[in-house]
Structure 1
Amino acid sequence: MELDRMVALLAALEEARYAGLRSVSYDGKTVTYGSDAELASAIRDLEGRIATASATPRRRRWGTVATKGL
């Protein structure tokens, strides 16, 4: 899923949760969550996916370490 689409879906989920709704419509599809906990879990999952998709790759540094064993 594309980053822009995930951000838009996250906004729709958060708006529904703050309005006290359990149904979310997006792209012509409607999803009904059984409880607020399920909706909160979907929001957390999507936030994690967004964070992973937007994170810059970490650089690794390699070096050599030597000691005399003292």
Structure 2
Amino acid sequence: MADTPEQQLAKSRAQLVKLDAAMASGVLTVEGADNTGRVTYRSYAEMRQARADLVRRIADMEASAGGTVARRTRQVVMTGRSGW
């Protein structure tokens, strides 16, 4: 039985959460999103690359589902005026 796009997106998001938790703890082995398998990375840099690929796939799935496309900025500039 094939997963619907919403189910695939939910699984990908769950996988991202597990990958983020593993990266924060320093563990190089991550359990699969549906607990069917494990992935062992060779280095933290490889985990970062896998995370970037996963985030890009999630963004593509959201865009194809007709949702809004999230855009990220690299720099935020704030200006203000003092009361003096």
| Pair 1:18-2:24 in alignment | yes
Amino acid at match of 1:5: K
Matches of 2:61 and 2:41, distance apart in 1: 25
Q: Aligned residues: percent identity?
A: 35
Out of 52, 61, 73, the residue aligned to residue 53 of structure 1 is 61
Which is strand-richer, 1 or 2? 1
User: Is there any run of 5+ residues in structure 2 with no aligned partner, and where?
Assistant: 68-84
| Pair 1:7-2:9 in alignment | no
Out of 35, 39, 42, the residue aligned to residue 43 of structure 2 is 35
User: Is there any run of 5+ residues in structure 1 with no aligned partner, and where?
Assistant: 58-70
Aligned CA RMSD, in angstroms, stands at 1.5
Q: How many corresponding residue pairs?
A: 57
Specify the SS of the correspondent of 1:34. coil
TM-score, scaled relative to structure 1: 0.75
Larger Rg over CA atoms: 1
